[in-house]
């Protein structure tokens, strides 16, 4: 089992367990640093959703920076087990775990979210399938952070306002015009 480090907020430098799952790609430190420079370091009052959680590091970074709530959705049993272990290691009552399919969750979310983290498995067309669920999933003035194997200039009504690339991974922040 490997570990990943939280880089900011109240849990900075804490190591979290990561499952050994094929295709799991933890977001690198430098990319997370850039993301939270874009979003801001203080996420108080924000409701965040890490829809394809994997390691959960984006959600844990948001919780570490004061997000009011963070929901992590993960289908893989091993990855979900490590998420549960990580929540147990932190004083993280604002972090909620949901084991199941991301698209099913998106079709019937318990609330609308201010920040949506999307890093789906590659090659399955999941971003395109998610578009129809965005109106019921995101709050007014929400932002979407997306990682993909290709650039994502738009997703439904959202347009990329900031973007970068790390190796073969494209990442972007999308907002409504």
CA 64/CA 126 separation, integer angstroms: 28
CA 69/CA 109 separation, integer angstroms: 14
Domain that holds residue 23: 2-175
The yes-or-no verdict on residue 23 having pLDDT over 70 is: no
Give the mean pLDDT of the chain.
93
Number of domains making up the chain: 1
> CB 145: neighbour CB atoms within 10 A?
25
- The per-residue pLDDT for range 97-136, each reduced to its tens digit, is 999 999 999 999 999 999 999 999 888 889 999 999 999 9
Residue 44 tokens read as: 């108080």
Q: Is the pTM of this model over 0.85?
A: yes
* Domain of residue 106, CATH code: 3.40.50.150
């Amino acid at each position: 089992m490997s570990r990943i480090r939280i880089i900011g907020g109240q849990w900075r430098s804490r190591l979290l367990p990561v499952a050994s799952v094929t295709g799991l790609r933890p977001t690198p430190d430098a990319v997370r640093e850039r993301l939270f420079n874009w979003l801001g370091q203080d996420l108080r009052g924000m409701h965040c959703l890490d829809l394809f959680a994997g390691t959960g590091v984006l959600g844990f970074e948001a919780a570490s920076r004061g997000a009011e709530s963070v929901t992590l959705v993960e289908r893989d049993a091993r990855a979900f087990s490590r998420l549960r272990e990580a929540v147990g290691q932190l004083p993280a009552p604002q972090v909620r775990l949901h084991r199941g399919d991301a698209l099913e969750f998106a079709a019937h979310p318990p609330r609308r979210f201010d920040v949506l983290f999307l890093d789906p498995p590659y090659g399955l067309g999941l971003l395109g399938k998610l578009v129809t669920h965005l109106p019921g999933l995101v709050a007014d003035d929400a932002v979407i952070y997306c990682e993909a194997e290709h650039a994502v200039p738009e997703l439904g009504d959202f347009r990329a306002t900031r973007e970068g690339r790390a190796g073969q991974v494209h990442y972007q922040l999308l907002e409504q015009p």
